[in-house]
Amino acid sequence: MTALRKFALTVLAAITLSLVAVGPASAYAPVDVVHTERVQVGPYAMTVGFSTWPIRAMKSLDFTFMPDGGIDGKSGTIQIEGPAFHGWKRAAPLVRHPRKRDSWGLDILAINDPGSYDFRFTLDGPAGHGEGTLEGVHVLDQPGPPLSLSWTIASLPLLGLIAFLSVSWRRTRPARQPLPL
């Protein structure tokens, strides 16, 4: 009976540990690519995927970059040019997307300003060096009201609380209370 009890506890512990380990991994939603564009980067054809389309300013989205034949044995860089990236003159290396491990990508990037953007790529791999540009990716205005109006409306309850507390403090201040006779 003791051996059976030890076996049952071991199986229960293994099941519990596997369920605990699976929990954080399933907390992240997979990347849903809803729009793709094709770009020729030298000898490599690459698919650029977007998680939302059309792109809106100040709204987070995922970008995926998948060269034909996969990313194994290849390396590359990306440089985004447009109204929101004036100071980003240096190319950034292409890295694996944190939730779509079979491709390169940018996770939850928000482009701050509307306008037209160019994605410049360089790839190095078995077929040699390649450069290419995805031109004219249009970013629309931000969704919803302007930020100044949103912040003003959101700060009204705080301003009301400050006014209420200051009036209450002035009415009940101990220095204004009459002295008992």
- Report pLDDT for 1: 60
- Report pLDDT for 112: 87
- Structural domain contains residue 118: yes
8-state DSSP, 28: S
Place of tokens 């079979």: 102
Domain span holding position 50: 35-140
Stated pTM of the model: 0.67
What distance in Å separates the CA atoms of residue 103 and residue 108, rounded to the nearest whole number? 15
- Report pLDDT for 178: 66
- Structural domain contains residue 71: yes
**Amino acid of residue 169:** W
Instruction: Give mean pLDDT in consecutive 10-residue pieces for the chain, a chain of 181 residues.
Output: 74 70 57 90 94 88 91 92 76 88 87 91 94 93 84 92 90 68 65
For Cα atoms 136, 68, 105, give the angle at the middle one, nearest 5 degrees: 60
CA atoms within 13 A of residue 3's CA, in its CB half-sphere: 0
- Report pLDDT for 156: 92
Helix (H, G, I), strand (E, B) or coil at 87: coil
- Report pLDDT for 138: 93
Tally of helices (H runs) and strands (E runs) in the chain: 2, 9
Give me the CATH number covering residue 122: 2.60.40.10
Comparing C-alpha atoms, which of 140, 136, 139 is closest to residue 39? 136
Place of tokens 């002295």: 179
In the chain, how many domains are there? 1
- Report pLDDT for 93: 92
